[in-house]
Amino acid sequence: MRCLLCHESMTVPWTPATLWRRDWVCPACESKLTPLGTGCPRCGQPNETGETCPDCIRWLALGLDLTVRCLYAYDEAGVDWLHRFKFSGDVVIASSVAPALRASRSSGVTYVPVPLSKERLQTRRFNQAEVLARCIGPTRQLLEKTEVSSQRELGKEGRRHRTNPFTVPTSVKCGKIILVDDVYTTGTTLHQAAFSLRQAGASEVSAICLFRALNKSKSRPI
Partner 1 sequence: MGELIVAQTGKRAIRFGICQRCLSTNVRTFICHHGTCSYCRNCLYLGRVCRCDFLQERDITTPLETTELTMPFELAPDQTRVANQLLTWWDGQKTGLVHAVCGAGKTEMTFPVIERVVNAGKRVLIVSPRKDVAIEWVERLERAFTVPVTGRYGGGEKDSIGMITVATAPLLMNIRDVFDYVLVDESDAFPFAFDIALWNTIRRVGKDVFLFITATPTVWQQMFPTVHLSRRYHGFDLPVPTLVKQSDERIVEFCRRHALKPRLLFVPTKPDLERYHETLEDAGLTCRTVSAETEERTDALHWLQETKGIVFATSIWERGMTVRDVRVAVVESEHRLFSTRGLIQMAGRAGRKPDAPTGEVCFFYKERTFRQDLAIRKIKEANRR
Q: Please list, in sequence order, all residues whose beta carbon lies within 8 angstroms of the beta carbon of residue 32, skipping any fewer than 6 positions away.
A: 77, 81
The DSSP secondary-structure symbol of 134 reads H
Q: How far is the CB of 193 from partner 1 (least distance, A)?
A: 20
Q: Is 77 in the site for partner 1 (CB under 8 A)?
A: no
User: In what helix (H) or strand (E) does residue 110 lie, and over which residues does it extend?
Assistant: strand 109-113
CA distances from 30 to 26, 78, 122, 211 (A): 6, 12, 31, 15
Q: How far is the CB of 11 from partner 1 (least distance, A)?
A: 15
Tell me how far apart the alpha carbons of residues 65 and 99 are, in angstroms, rounded to a whole number. 28
Q: Is 9 in the site for partner 1 (CB under 8 A)?
A: no
Neighbour tally for 19: CB within 10 Å? 7
CB 43 within 8 A of CB 71: no
Pick from 107, 122, 150, 219 the residue near partner 1 by CB under 8 A. Answer: 122
Q: Is 32 in the site for partner 1 (CB under 8 A)?
A: no
User: In what helix (H) or strand (E) does residue 135 lie, and over which residues does it extend?
Assistant: helix 128-136
Q: How far is the CB of 2 from partner 1 (least distance, A)?
A: 10
Positive or negative: CA dihedral 120, 180, 135, 31: positive
Contact segment (CB under 8 A) with partner 1 among 83-91, 101-109, 140-148, 156-164 equals 83-91
Q: How far is the CB of 25 from partner 1 (least distance, A)?
A: 15
Burial class (CB in 10 A: 0-12, 13-18, 19+), 15: exposed
Q: Is 8 in the site for partner 1 (CB under 8 A)?
A: no
Q: How far is the CB of 91 from partner 1 (least distance, A)?
A: 4
Q: Is 181 in the site for partner 1 (CB under 8 A)?
A: no
Contact segment (CB under 8 A) with partner 1 among 38-46, 121-129, 179-187, 205-213 equals 121-129
Tell me how far apart the alpha carbons of residues 190 and 185 are, in angstroms, rounded to a whole number. 10
Q: Give the residue with the Cβ less far from partner 1, 55 or 130.
A: 130
Contact segment (CB under 8 A) with partner 1 among 42-50, 58-66, 87-95, 174-182 equals 87-95
**Binding pattern to partner 1, positions 129-158, x when CB under 8 A?**
-xx--x------------------------
Pick from 28, 54, 80, 126 the residue near partner 1 by CB under 8 A. Answer: 126
Site residues (vs partner 1, CB under 8 A): 88-92, 121-122, 125-127, 130-131, 134
